[in-house]
Chain A
């Protein structure tokens, strides 16, 4: 009898455990009043009650999955660090709501031939009261380029004269680099040739900050590894960095534009688990989550989203003798893909299907480059199965194969991440269903997978890369025998076009040449563009003027404020 009793007790307990779990999904989601902007990169989250008065407590808290790696401005290369650096330091120029705005520099001028850019600094101070000089910028940029610093970011200065020779060790003389502080308030940069994208490149970059020589001297290798070994001159001061747990910023009263800064305190909590982050958002512990998964968007229908900045594309191994060196086979694979269906089913909200290698949001003097210089693969978003089949038949004929079953298995190398695995499986199924092509997926951890990409040990690789500011960022990789020509696709005509546009000084001619190159590239299909991945975010309605920008690649809060709530 007792046994039965204890057994039934067990069962009751078990049942209560499980019902406890399931009821969590019944919970009402917190309502946010974000306008769901699905197309804009520079989506702002202005609340609908923008007229409301400001709260007495101007404190903003958000949570992110990872800690920042470093505050060393010369070595920084991750989004998490960029996000904090952007608030605690002042670059030459900023990028805000789609425009370049003045920051440390009060104004800048470009010489007539376009090869000299001169920045005039305003009066601004480091958070300890010392004045910021042009020398602090010169020191910062040259330290970044110095081979002894070990920065992975050197190539952001490729357009500056003498930079490549200096960082690659060919010329040890730092004076030969075209960066010079002519006096305390003037910074002069000499370019190898005119570049209309240079200012925007600096505004969107994450390493164009000044640096205090005495701090680097004092902390040497440990510079920027903690709150005490860092000093900035931005709108906020880093008051505490509990590594792996939280980052606390306080308003910098000495900031030159302090009147525009409403928040007095910003806290970033580092919370690795998404469910915990969402729980904290529901409880009101945090005001904003800047990246939530597709599953979570079902609970928060008022989420906002943004996209742009990164392009995901399939790289086909096209070198002589490899399976996909057959152009028609590559075109068959590209045409069969139903990008729209995959994006709808699998991608984070905000993801946009694309048919070219240039970011649709990139502009020149306010004009859309993508609209003015069109190019396209010609593949509809839903794919074109008829054409794909025709290309496949041509390919089989060229390869002297009687049926698709004789085709070798195609090796798809896939990054070990949930989204990449889902894409790989969807593509594999699509190719099998429409073309009968057999694709094998090889999942590898990130460093190994990238290793396979660089050494060419793959047939298909889904790669995601930043589109950069200059429209040739992605396309310039695929030159003849280029080190970063991942597809090992060698086309002399294409290489010549890329080379010609690089040295062309007339911007319209340059973009026209690039357009020709792009169309040639898309026709040959060594790479097929797929989509620009998006991110979904949620934010409480009392947070105003939060922007999701290109400078940090994520949330930008320096001009935000908190409404009465």
Chain B
């Protein structure tokens, strides 16, 4: 087990290094430069700005500087938000996205799994159809429609909840519902499919034939085995949800990370884009690492040799 963890750690570090390198060169191969906006800067000013930020140096030299800073955990200054460091911007936006993400996951995971289990157990019954209906709605309605719809009903018409912003518990309700609905829908579908597969396995029949009590069959054999694909999915899902969602954060005016992912790349803010990529990459690698270890706990068949 120790060896396995060590091996995985080394692979993780290599993955992050490759990610940092590839994204650096891909990003820098894009035409254009970060200082040009719709109000065109003069050629002389542009050249001065490039020189000031060291962007006129040979690309490889810039790459080495960037890697050196990365080793110290320094992601540099944003090229757009003058005088703010990328570290500082991530530090102020990430907790907000993470809070929204965690609450939404906290709502979506139990409900999603529960609906998935119920709907598989009651296959073909009205309950099943209702669950499938909810998950179809959740998957197929894009979050910008769901978000606006919730705002319209609960904020504009009923005036029960604030329409937008992030200033306390009341403000969290609508974005949480909007975000968790789509997560819940995906989880329900996967859990239902996985449960249906497990239910028809021979070992379930064997367990029943042996006279194992029904609740034990469901809990220990069916659900536990059906959890494997869910755990696989949860790794990347947690990572992506905690990193913030562009659409929901925009609609509900939440100052999270989501907007930065989109705006930094369209504005060619090199440092911000790279900083976010490395941050997200590290987080994702970490999440997958935990998933790999969790497999062993859930499913003895995947357990690693000592």
A contact set with B: CB distance below 8 Å: 2-3, 5-7, 9-10, 13, 17, 20-21, 24, 67, 69-70, 72, 75-76, 147, 150, 152, 154-155, 167-168, 221-225, 242-246, 269-273, 275-276, 279-280, 282-283, 285, 415-417, 444-454, 463-466, 483-484, 486
Question: Could you say which residues of chain A place their CB within 8 Å of the CB of B149?
Answer: 17, 20-21
Q: For the complex, is B165 an interface residue (Cβ under 8 Å from A)?
A: yes
Question: Could you say which residues of chain A place their CB within 8 Å of the CB of B253?
Answer: 245, 269-273, 276
Q: For the complex, is B65 an interface residue (Cβ under 8 Å from A)?
A: no
Q: A150-B49, A276-B163 are in contact. Are A453 and B31 (CB under 8 A)?
A: no
Could you tell me the distance between the alpha carbons of A486 and B44 in the complex, rounded to whole angstroms?
13
- B152 A154 Cβ-Cβ under 8 A: no
Pick from A20, A222, A446: contact of B37, CB under 8 Å: A446
Residue of chain B at shortest CB distance from A310? B39
Q: A223-B83, A225-B84 are in contact. Are A450 and B36 (CB under 8 A)?
A: yes
Q: For chain B, residues 19 to 57, give those with C-beta under 8 angstroms from any C-beta of chain A.
A: 30-46, 48-49, 52-53
How close is B38's CB to chain A, nearest CB, in angstroms? 6
- B93 A244 Cβ-Cβ under 8 A: yes
For B250-263 the 0/1 string (1 means CB < 8 A from A) is: 11111110010000
- A75 B82 Cβ-Cβ under 8 A: yes
Residue of chain B at shortest CB distance from A63? B253
- B163 A155 Cβ-Cβ under 8 A: no
- A72 B133 Cβ-Cβ under 8 A: no
Q: A72-B82, A273-B250, A280-B163 are in contact. Are A150 and B53 (CB under 8 A)?
A: yes
How close is A560's CB to chain B, nearest CB, in angstroms? 23
Residue of chain A at shortest CB distance from B256? A244
Could you tell me the distance between the alpha carbons of A167 and B44 in the complex, rounded to whole angstroms?
11
- A244 B255 Cβ-Cβ under 8 A: yes
- B83 A6 Cβ-Cβ under 8 A: no
How close is B76's CB to chain A, nearest CB, in angstroms? 11
- B268 A447 Cβ-Cβ under 8 A: yes
B contact set with A: CB distance below 8 Å: 30-46, 48-49, 52-53, 77, 80-85, 88-89, 92-93, 125-126, 129-130, 133, 145, 148-149, 151-153, 155-156, 159, 162-166, 249-256, 259, 266-268
Could you tell me the distance between the alpha carbons of A558 and B202 in the complex, rounded to whole angstroms?
77
- A448 B166 Cβ-Cβ under 8 A: no
- A280 B48 Cβ-Cβ under 8 A: no
- B32 A272 Cβ-Cβ under 8 A: no
Q: Can you report 23 A-B residue pairs in the complex whose CB atoms are below 8 A from each other?
A: A10-B129, A17-B149, A67-B255, A69-B80, A69-B81, A70-B82, A150-B52, A155-B44, A155-B45, A223-B83, A224-B83, A225-B88, A245-B165, A276-B148, A280-B164, A285-B162, A445-B266, A446-B37, A446-B38, A448-B32, A449-B32, A451-B33, A454-B46
- A447 B33 Cβ-Cβ under 8 A: yes
Question: Could you say which residues of chain A place their CB within 8 Å of the CB of B250?
Answer: 272-273
How close is A227's CB to chain B, nearest CB, in angstroms? 13
Could you tell me the distance between the alpha carbons of A17 and B42 in the complex, rounded to whole angstroms?
52
- A484 B42 Cβ-Cβ under 8 A: yes
Question: Could you say which residues of chain B place their CB within 8 Å of the CB of A225?
Answer: 81-84, 88
Question: Could you say which residues of chain A place their CB within 8 Å of the CB of B256?
Answer: 244
Could you tell me the distance between the alpha carbons of A224 and B42 in the complex, rounded to whole angstroms?
25
How close is A153's CB to chain B, nearest CB, in angstroms? 8
Question: Could you say which residues of chain B place their CB within 8 Å of the CB of A10?
Answer: 129, 133
How close is A147's CB to chain B, nearest CB, in angstroms? 7
Q: Give the most central of B77, B83, B256, B259: most A CB within 10 Å.
A: B83
Could you tell me the distance between the alpha carbons of A416 and B268 in the complex, rounded to whole angstroms?
14
How close is A422's CB to chain B, nearest CB, in angstroms? 15
Question: Could you say which residues of chain A place their CB within 8 Å of the CB of B31?
Answer: 447-448, 451-452
- B255 A242 Cβ-Cβ under 8 A: yes
Question: Could you say which residues of chain A place their CB within 8 Å of the CB of B77?
Answer: 221
Give 10 new A-B contacts, CB below 8 A, not counting A3-B129, A276-B151, A449-B32.
Answer: A150-B53, A225-B82, A244-B255, A272-B249, A273-B250, A276-B164, A450-B32, A450-B37, A484-B40, A484-B43
Q: Give the most central of A20, A245, A451: most B CB within 10 Å.
A: A245
